Amino acid sequence: MTGSKPLLIIAFLFIILCAAIIAATGMGFLKITPVEVIEIMLSRIFGLESGEINPTFPFVVMEVRLPRILTSALVGGGLAVAGAVFQAILLNPLADPYTLGISSGAAFGASLAIILTIFGIVIPAWFSIPVFAFLGAMATLIGVFSLASTDNRLSSNTLILSGVIIAAILSAGIGFIKYLADEQVSIIIFWLMGSFVGRTWTDVITTTAVVLPGLLFILYFARDLNIMALGERTADTLGVETSKVKKMLLVCASLITAICVSVSGIIGFVGLIIPHLLRMILGPDNKVLLPACFLGGATLLLGADTITRAWLPSEIPIGVLTSLIGGPFFCYIFRKKQMALSS
Amino acid sequence: MTKELQTKSLFQLTSLSFSYRKNKVLDDVSLQLQSGKFYGLIGANGSGKSTLLELLMGTLSPVSGSIYYRNRIIGDYPRKELATKLALVPQHFSMDFEYRVRDVVFMGRHPHIPRFSSPSNHDREVVENAIETMDINHLQDRPVIALSGGELQRVVMARALAQETEVLILDEATSNLDIQHTIGIMRVMRERVNKKGLTVIAAIHDLNQAAAFCDDCIVLRDGHIFANAPVQEIFTSDLLQTVFGVDASIQQGAVEGHPQIHFSYQAGMAP
């Protein structure tokens, strides 16, 4: 449980993430070597002159590719950590950031913003969609919590059920908005499928501002989360303020999910698969699992985004790609685990 | 508001009542529990035993009345402090994640290890000891979800022992165990009460077990305390008939000064 092995794993995952960021930055229509990428980054950070590098490269790296790559990494890490937290709190290995209906809330908010624009109510589009999505996610969170909290304790089943009910209502709402949008429905559909196209440093900064403090806050309670796996009552008797920790972490993980969805749209399976996979390899100890999920999720989504950006002949929505690859892959490991248990 | 209550008793319960919604589970329970004794809590299903134990643990709050633990209202203790004094072995236990047995026992040390600290040698020793005592050495590296009910109960018991508390509250902690482990564990409890001054409060279904190991028995019936006395006095044919609805004869002082109960299993035949 203790020792240097977990630290080594975290360090290893961190190095992989850094390498992936550098490699991905070099990939695309313009090929840039890793050495040049590092040179450009260093020259920007330390204000040095970058020697004989093609003068368009720094712009491509710093203004086009890096913001998108960092946003996708932050969103991937955020969704994976949020997934791990929801699974630990709801004591349900199948929970994910969307179980509580948060994604539906964000999707509803975004659809609302788009339909308002279509109807001629002028809001600057790049401002309105993420903000509306975020507000939608937060409103859903409040709705689910108030529906679930009939007593002082939030029971896992009540929470999941409330999430499912509210998500169903919101889906109907989204359907209605799509119907109203008529011929321009494709804008909504495209947003819902998720994309990192055209992300800017503003997106990187707002996402970082929520995801990183959120991650630190969650890590502070990692040990309490382990104890909570014993069940709420037992965790109480071991000195954990279970209902308080539960509420704080649910809000924190939901905030992370909300910001991720608002900058990227709906990206499924990252929050489910990464915690699952890493739990199978590293065990359930949240002190190791949570940071590993952040790094692993970041690497995975960054990789998936690079595939659609640089490899595929034309970009397909990232949410579709993660579900298309993630779904069957999940079926595979799930099946393999079932077989292993029964033999 | 809170009047000082200076008594020597460990727990002091005064006209305690509790209800789940409109369903009254405990009604006007007053009780004093002394330190260094082995208490048995007996009563039919649904008589309020588990609820009383949860109230003692402070995981439920009374609707009316009060519970003092060492002259302080139990709800006023910080959770973490209480966790170093009281440990609970719950009736039901399940886990959805693949923690290993050793990790689960280690979780008993949680209230003793400050945040971000590593376990000390003492922590390790206590865990080692608890694993030894509960005879789960061979299970150490197994995931808890792969254990049988009885094995799991021993793991949970070891976790409670690792908590190193002065009070141990058991909610039918031996209900899934085979007879060898049941007797083994009850003996360990008895020994710790005698030698280390541990206080055990145990809800027990097997009346002979209660009679053999406890000092005092508290009998609950429909949320009231029906009787509360040393085991040598408490078991009578009348009590067993009224509280449990069974015919039985009692042989006083049969086992090392403790009574033994002989139940009548066939209808209409007095034992």
| Cβ-contact B74, B67 below 8 angstroms | yes
Please give the residue of chain B at the shortest CA–CA distance from A92: B96
- Please, is A341 exposed, middle or buried when counting C-beta atoms within 10 Å of its C-beta (0-12, 13-18, 19+)? exposed
| Cβ-contact A26, A36 below 8 angstroms | yes
Q: Buried b vs exposed e over A272-297: b needs ≥16 C-beta within 10 Å?
A: bbbbbbbbeebbbbbbbbbbbbbbbb
Mean pLDDT of A67-96: 92
Q: Of A91, A239, A279, which has the smallest distance from its Cβ to B110's Cβ?
A: A239
Cα angle: A118, vertex A195, A299; to 5 degrees:
160
Angstrom distance (rounded) from CA A4 to CA A75: 28
Question: What residues contact B1, with CB distance under 8 A and at least 6 apart?
Answer: none
- Residues B79, B85, B89, B94, CA torsion sign: positive
CA distances (Å), origin B259, targets B13, B28, B210, B212: 28, 29, 10, 7
What are the boundaries of each domain within chain A? 5-342
Which of A82-86, A156-160, A212-216, B266-270 has the least mean pLDDT? B266-270
State whether A233 and B59 contact (CB < 8 Å). yes
Predicted confidence at residue B121, as pLDDT, reads 95
pLDDT tens digits, A250-270? 889 988 998 998 889 888 889
Superfamily, domain A5-342 = ABC transporter involved in vitamin B12 uptake, BtuC (1.10.3470.10)
Q: Of B99, B106, B115, which has the smallest distance from its Cβ to A229's Cβ?
A: B99
Is A315 in CB contact (< 8 Å) with chain B? no
Highest mean pLDDT among A33-42, B6-15, B125-134: B125-134
pLDDT greater than 80 at residue B68: yes
Is B145 in CB contact (< 8 Å) with chain A? no
**Chain B partners of A230 at a C-beta cutoff of 8 Å?**
93, 95, 104, 107
State whether A238 and B106 contact (CB < 8 Å). no
Is B93 in CB contact (< 8 Å) with chain A? yes
Q: Of B81, B86, B97, which has the smallest distance from its Cβ to A284's Cβ?
A: B97
φ/ψ of B60, rounded to 5, equals -120, 150
Angstrom distance (rounded) from CA A290 to CA A280: 13
State whether B96 and A92 contact (CB < 8 Å). yes
Please give the residue of chain B at the shortest CA–CA distance from A242: B79
Nearest Cα to B30, choosing from B5, B13, B47? B13
Angstrom distance (rounded) from CA B11 to CA B7: 9
Do the interacting molecules here have an ipTM over 0.95?
Answer: no
| Cβ-contact B131, B100 below 8 angstroms | no
Measured in whole angstroms, the distance separating CA B46 from the mean position of its chain's CA atoms is 16
Is A92 in CB contact (< 8 Å) with chain B? yes
The beta strand positions in chain B, using DSSP E, are: 11-20, 23-33, 38-42, 64-69, 72-73, 86-89, 167-171, 199-203, 216-221, 224-230, 248-255, 258-263
Mean pLDDT of A7-21: 95
pLDDT tens digits, B175-192? 888 999 999 999 999 999
| Cβ-contact A298, A73 below 8 angstroms | yes
pLDDT greater than 60 at residue A193: yes
Q: What count of Cα atoms within 13 Å lies in the side-chain half-sphere of residue B26?
A: 30
Please state, for a pLDDT cut of 70, what percent of chain A lies above it. 94
DSSP helix/strand/coil, A328: helix
Is B69 in CB contact (< 8 Å) with chain A? no
Mean pLDDT of A193-197: 88
Best of A225, A234, A280 to disrupt the B interface by mutation (most B CBs within 10 Å)? A234
**Mind telling me how many Å the CA of A159 is from chain B's nearest CA?**
17
Predicted confidence at residue B1, as pLDDT, reads 42
**Chain B partners of A239 at a C-beta cutoff of 8 Å?**
79-84, 110-111
Is A277 in CB contact (< 8 Å) with chain B? no
φ/ψ of B158, rounded to 5, equals -60, -40
State whether B99 and A279 contact (CB < 8 Å). no
- Please, is A187 exposed, middle or buried when counting C-beta atoms within 10 Å of its C-beta (0-12, 13-18, 19+)? middle
Is B163 in CB contact (< 8 Å) with chain A? yes
Q: Of A1, A2, A237, which has the smallest distance from its Cβ to B83's Cβ?
A: A237
**Mind telling me how many Å the CA of B113 is from chain A's nearest CA?**
11
Predicted confidence at residue A19, as pLDDT, reads 96
Q: Which residue has the tokens 């009604």?
A: B27
Q: Which residue has the tokens 């206590």?
A: B126
**Mind telling me how many Å the CA of B212 is from chain A's nearest CA?**
28
Q: Of A1, A233, A236, which has the smallest distance from its Cβ to B79's Cβ?
A: A236
* Size of the A and B interface in Cβ pairs below 8 Å: 74
Angstrom distance (rounded) from CA B68 to CA B62: 12
Lay out the sheet containing B11-20: strands in order across: B23-33, B11-20, B64-69, B72-73
pLDDT greater than 90 at residue A119: no
φ/ψ of A115, rounded to 5, equals -65, -35
DSSP helix/strand/coil, B233: helix
Token digits of residue B142: 């197994």
Token digits of residue B7: 């008594």
Is A3 in CB contact (< 8 Å) with chain B? no
Predicted confidence at residue A121, as pLDDT, reads 76
Q: Buried b vs exposed e over A299-321: b needs ≥16 C-beta within 10 Å?
A: bbbbebbbbbbeeeeeeebbbbb
DSSP helix/strand/coil, A194: coil
Angstrom distance (rounded) from CA B241 to CA B270: 12
Band the pLDDT of B85: cuts 50, 70, 90.
very high
The beta strand positions in B153-236, using DSSP E, are: 167-171, 199-203, 216-221, 224-230
Angstrom distance (rounded) from CA A240 to CA B252: 45
Interface of B with A in 95-124 (CB under 8 A): 95-100, 102-104, 106-108, 110-111, 115, 118-119
Angstrom distance (rounded) from CA B142 to CA A48: 56
Angstrom distance (rounded) from CA A234 to CA B88: 8
Mean pLDDT of B255-270: 79
Mean of all residue pLDDT scores within chain A: 87
Band the pLDDT of B200: cuts 50, 70, 90.
very high
DSSP code for B138? G
Mean pLDDT of B211-228: 94
Please give the residue of chain B at the shortest CA–CA distance from A241: B79
**Chain B partners of A284 at a C-beta cutoff of 8 Å?**
97-99
Angstrom distance (rounded) from CA B71 to CA A84: 42
**Chain B partners of A238 at a C-beta cutoff of 8 Å?**
83, 107-108, 110-111, 163
State whether A227 and B104 contact (CB < 8 Å). no
Element (H, E) at A18: helix A5-26
Query: pLDDT: is B73 or A44 the higher one?
Result: B73
pLDDT greater than 80 at residue B244: yes
Q: Buried b vs exposed e over B178-205: b needs ≥16 C-beta within 10 Å?
A: eeebbebbbebbbebbeeeebbbbbbbe
Interface of B with A in 164-223 (CB under 8 A): none
| Cβ-contact A70, A17 below 8 angstroms | no
Q: Buried b vs exposed e over A203-237: b needs ≥16 C-beta within 10 Å?
A: bbebbeebbeebbebbbebbbbbbbbbbbbbbbbb
pLDDT tens digits, B37-53? 999 999 999 899 999 99
Residue B169, beta-bridge partner list: B88, B201
